Amino acid sequence: MFFTRDTLAGKIVPYASLALTVLALAACADAPAGLDPSGDKLSASSSEPAFSRADNGPGAVYTLTNGVDGNAVVAFHRSQDGSLTSLGSFATGGKGIGGTIDPLTSQFAVVVNDAHDALFAVNAGSNEISSFRIDANGALALVSKVSSKGSRPVSLGVHDNLLYALNSGDNTVSGYRITGDARIVALPHSTRALAPGANGAAAIRFTRDGRQLIVTERVSNRLEVFAVLPDGRLGAPVATPGNGAATFGFDVTARNQPIVSETQGSLTSYALAPDGALSPITSSISTGGLAPCWVIITADERFAYTTNSGSSFLAGYSVDAAGHLTPLTPGAHTGESGAGATPLDLDRVGNQFLYTLEAGTGTIGTFVINPDGTLAARPDVPAGAPASGLQGLASF
C-alpha cells in the first residue's frame, strides 16, 4: 500500500529530484552501566513537572540547525494527536558546520533522555556538546556546554546518567556524567580511540541495558562494540565487519539485536554476544530504495523503519523475538516522504507516531503508525530553509 503526503505548499509527487538524490547519495553512501560515586541522577529543577512518559500524552520533537554562525535546536510541541506546533529555536552556544543535506553524515546528532527532561546536541563546528533542560511545554533552557574531547562530534548515546559522544574527525569516543538539572560533566579518563582503521564513524548507541556501547562506521564498513565498565568507562572495542556495504544508522532491540542500515539498499539485523561479537540474523534484506541511512524501532519492538534518502520513501519491517526482519509492504513503499524530501533522520513516539526530518524540503514529516505497522501520513511542518544543513531528530 502506498501513502502520499500533502504539504503546506500543496501535493507532493513521489519522485525525488535528481539533484537532491545525488546529494543524499553522496552524503549517505561514501564508501547496567554505572557512574563513579559522585555522579547524581538527573532531576529536572523546573517548577513544572516534565512530560509524562506515557505514549498517549503530549510531548515534543526536536532537530538541529547545524548553523555555522551559531547552532540551535528547533523545537516543536507535540499534541496528543501527534500534531506539531513550533516553539521556536534555542541556541546551543556553539557552532555547526553548515552544509545542505546530511553534512554530519550521522544519526543521533540530538537526543533526549528516557525521563524526557533533558536534551543533548552536538556542535560539530566548535567541537562541543550542549545540554538543555526540557520544560513542561517542550521548550528548552540551555544548562551546559562542554568540549567533546575530540574533533567533529556527530552522534550521541545516552543511558541513565551516562552520555557518550562520537567524534568522527579523530575517531574517538568520550564519556560524561549527567548530574542534576541536565548538566553534563566530563568523565575523567573516558576518551578512547576507535579500533585502528576506523573511517566514517556515523552513529553511537547504548544497548537497552546500558552494558554495551555500539558504534557504526560507514567507510570502514564495520561495527565496534565496547563493554561499559561499572565506573562508566569503556573496555577495549570488539570490531565486526558489516554484513553489507556502508554500514550506517541503527537501533537496538531490548534483546541486544542491532538493526543496521547499509547504504547499498538493505538492512541487516545482528545478534550481539556478551563478549561484543556480532553475527547476522537477517542478512542484507532489501529496502526497495536507494541509500537507506537511518533506522528506528518502535517501543514495543514489533516494527522497524528506515529512510531511503535517495528515493524519498520509508520502508517498514516487522521484527520477531529472534530478530528476523519481514517487509511490512512487500513490493510497495511503507510511507512516502515526497519529491525532494530526501529524508534525513527519523524517530518515533512509543508505538503511535513516526517523525522524519526531510532536509531537502526543510520540513518535519509526521506519520501515524497503524496497528499493523503501516503508516498514514499527516501534513508536513516547516522546520527551516530547504537544504540548509538541518541534522538529527529526537521525539517523545
Cα(283)–Cα(261) distance, integer angstroms: 11
Are 265 and 287 in contact by the 8 Å Cβ rule? The answer is: yes
Alpha helices in the chain (DSSP H): 18-28
Per-residue pLDDT of the chain (396 residues; tens, 9 = 90+): 333 343 333 333 333 333 433 344 444 644 333 333 233 333 333 333 344 444 568 999 999 999 999 999 999 999 999 999 999 999 999 999 999 999 999 999 999 999 999 999 999 999 999 999 999 999 999 999 999 999 999 999 999 999 999 999 999 999 999 998 999 999 999 999 999 999 999 999 999 999 999 999 999 999 999 999 999 999 999 999 999 999 999 999 999 999 999 999 999 999 999 999 999 999 999 999 999 999 999 999 999 999 998 898 999 999 999 999 999 999 999 999 988 898 889 999 999 999 999 999 999 999 999 999 999 999 999 999 999 999 999 999
- Report the residue count for the chain: 396
Asked if residue 302 belongs to a domain, the reply is: yes
Instruction: Please state the domain count of the chain.
Output: 1
CATH code of the domain containing 68: 2.130.10.10
Asked if residue 308 belongs to a domain, the reply is: yes
Find the domain containing 328 and state its range: 6-31+61-395
Q: For residue 255, which of 227, 230, 274, 231 has the smallest C-alpha distance?
A: 274
Cα(126)–Cα(100) distance, integer angstroms: 18
Q: Name the DSSP letter for residue 80.
A: T
Asked if residue 40 belongs to a domain, the reply is: no
Quote the cell numbers at residue 64: 538541529
Please give the sequence-ordered ranges of beta strands (E in DSSP) within 13-102, or none if there are none. 59-64, 72-78, 84-91
pLDDT value of residue 344: 85
Are 150 and 127 in contact by the 8 Å Cβ rule? The answer is: yes
Are 29 and 200 in contact by the 8 Å Cβ rule? The answer is: no
Asked if residue 345 belongs to a domain, the reply is: yes
The CA R_g of the chain, rounded to the nearest whole Å, is 19
Quote the cell numbers at residue 133: 533542560
Asked if residue 247 belongs to a domain, the reply is: yes
Asked if residue 46 belongs to a domain, the reply is: no
Cα(199)–Cα(278) distance, integer angstroms: 19
Q: Is 29 left (phi over 0), alpha (psi -120 to 50) or beta?
A: alpha
Asked if residue 48 belongs to a domain, the reply is: no
Task: Label the pairing between strands 363-369 and 353-358.
Answer: antiparallel
In the block, residue with C-alpha cell 503508525: 369
Asked if residue 306 belongs to a domain, the reply is: yes
